[in-house]
Amino acid sequence: MKRLVPLLLLTLLAGCDMLGIESPEKVAANREADGKAIGGACRHAGRAIEDCYALNKKADRAAVFAGWREMNDYMRENQIAEVAPQVAATGAAAKPAADEPDSHAEEKSPAKNRDAKAKPKRES
């Protein structure tokens, strides 16, 4: 009888969510739902799937792709236009535009600066 009571209590507490202990299944379901939400939001914002991966490195890629694909199908069926993102991308996905001048152009070519200093000026 002494062994049966603790065993019974453990069985009852194992299924109790009030303890705040999340089961691995619940964690996996939350992670998948978050990934699908991220993918859907990326597609709605008109971001490429690669940019979405780069901006959300911790998200599950399969879930992100599933959400992106579902939103793509939904947007096509209902003729929904993309919404331009209001916040600029940061990190690996943010790339400078090709028409912007390179502020480090002189640093990348030190040979030009060295050649200009090495040539003596002609006196007339």
Summarised one tens digit per residue, pLDDT across range 2-25 is 777 777 666 666 665 666 778 889
pLDDT band at 34 (very low <50, low <70, confident <90, very high): very high
Q: How far apart are the first and last CA of the chain?
A: 114
Nearest Cα neighbor of 80 from 51, 45, 49, 50 is 45
Mean pLDDT of 75-96: 75
Q: What's the token pair of residue 3? A: 């062994």
- Give every CB contact of residue 23 below 8 A, 6+ residues apart in sequence: none
Rounded to two decimals, the pTM is: 0.56
* Confidence check: pLDDT of 103 > 50: no
Give me Rg for the CA atoms of the chain. Answer: 28
The domains of the chain are located at 22-92
* Confidence check: pLDDT of 39 > 50: yes
What pLDDT is recorded for position 20?
74
**Choice among 14-23, 24-33, 87-96, 103-112 with the minimum mean pLDDT:** 103-112
Q: How far apart are CA 27 and CA 30, in angstroms?
A: 5
What pLDDT is recorded for position 4?
74
Q: What's CA 14's distance to the chain center, in Å?
A: 35
